[in-house]
């Protein structure tokens, strides 16, 4: 039988509960599967090469013009009806069909009906890409990217 007073046993259980809660919160966060903490909104994720699905928004095709860390990164984004999506963000340039972007930097995509998603493209091993996306609102500030 445990001779420790009830108070000390209770304190031990509280410590275990607090530590477990902290660990559970860290692994349940939206960024835990990506190795970083972005914010509380839930991000969807698709991995692959070539045309990668973006849920009901359409699909995106990230490409690079050079192997390794050097080089430029581009993407094409299409909506389900085959139109090219518009892109906007501080690290996005180009336009109409092909856009240049910076890896791991967020930007927005919009279709002609006004649906908008926020996107982050990351590189994976073997020429594959990880695309994280979530519903968003098209930014209205002037001069924050290509149009």
Q: Is the pLDDT of residue 18 over 70?
A: no
* Continuous segment of H or E residues that includes residue 16: helix 6-27
Answer yes or no: are the C-beta atoms of 126 and 98 closer than 8 Å: no
Residue 23 and residue 15: Cα distance in Å, rounded?
12
Instruction: Select the highest-mean-pLDDT range: 2-6, 22-26, 39-43, 58-62.
Output: 58-62
Instruction: Select the highest-mean-pLDDT range: 6-15, 62-71, 78-87.
Output: 78-87
Higher pLDDT, residue 137 or 35: 137
CA nearest to 92, candidates 111, 77, 105: 105
Q: Is the pLDDT of residue 33 over 50?
A: no
């Amino acid at each position: 039988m445990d001779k420790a007073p009830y108070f000390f046993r209770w304190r031990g259980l509280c410590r275990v509960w607090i530590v477990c809660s902290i660990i559970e919160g860290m692994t349940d966060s939206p960024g835990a599967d990506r190795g970083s903490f972005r914010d509380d909104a839930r991000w969807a994720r698709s991995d692959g090469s070539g045309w990668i699905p973006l849920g009901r928004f359409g699909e995106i095709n990230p490409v690079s013009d050079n192997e390794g860390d050097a080089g430029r990164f581009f993407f094409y984004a299409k909506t389900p009806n085959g139109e090219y999506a518009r892109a906007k963000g501080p690290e996005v340039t180009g336009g109409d069909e092909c856009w240049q972007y910076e890896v791991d930097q967020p930007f927005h995509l919009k279709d002609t009906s006004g649906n908008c998603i926020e996107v982050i493209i990351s590189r994976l091993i073997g020429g594959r890409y990880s695309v994280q996306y979530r519903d968003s609102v098209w930014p209205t500030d002037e001069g924050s990217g290509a149009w």
